[in-house]
Amino acid sequence: MHELGVVFHVIKMVEEVAADNNLTEVESVTLEIGEVSGIIEEYLQKCWNWAVVKKSDILRNSKLIVEEIPAVTFCEECAQTYETVKYGKICPYCESQKTYLQQGNEFSIKEISAC
């Protein structure tokens, strides 16, 4: 379960931003997570709920909001994009394997909302 490590990293980053901006409490943190990033939202939420209570005064009552970025693959042969999870590596339009993931593996802090 690497989600706990992810949560600790996010907490550290948010605490640094909060300190830089003289915040005393954070209401919510919004993350953008790619569909094929390997992060399981249910585990992430459980880790968040445990960690903010145990490890961070400024985040103790904060909510974690997750926005999923859909995975999209680009085909170099026909220049089409398609749903990665549905079709995998082989292009559904021309059956080429000359494809690459265009989006869907991201992980970023999108927004920090203060009280």
pLDDT at 1: 54
67, containing H or E segment: strand 63-69
pLDDT confidence of residue 92: 98
Facing residues of 113 across strands?
Answer: 28
* Structural domain harbouring 42: 3-69+104-114
- Domains of the chain: total: 1
Q: What is the pLDDT of residue 115?
A: 77
Collect the ranges in the chain with pLDDT lower than 70: 1
Residue 92 lies in a domain: no
User: Looking at the domain assignment, is residue 39 inside a domain?
Assistant: yes
* Look-up of token digits 């915040």: 23
Instruction: Enter the tokens of residue 78.
Output: 């026909």
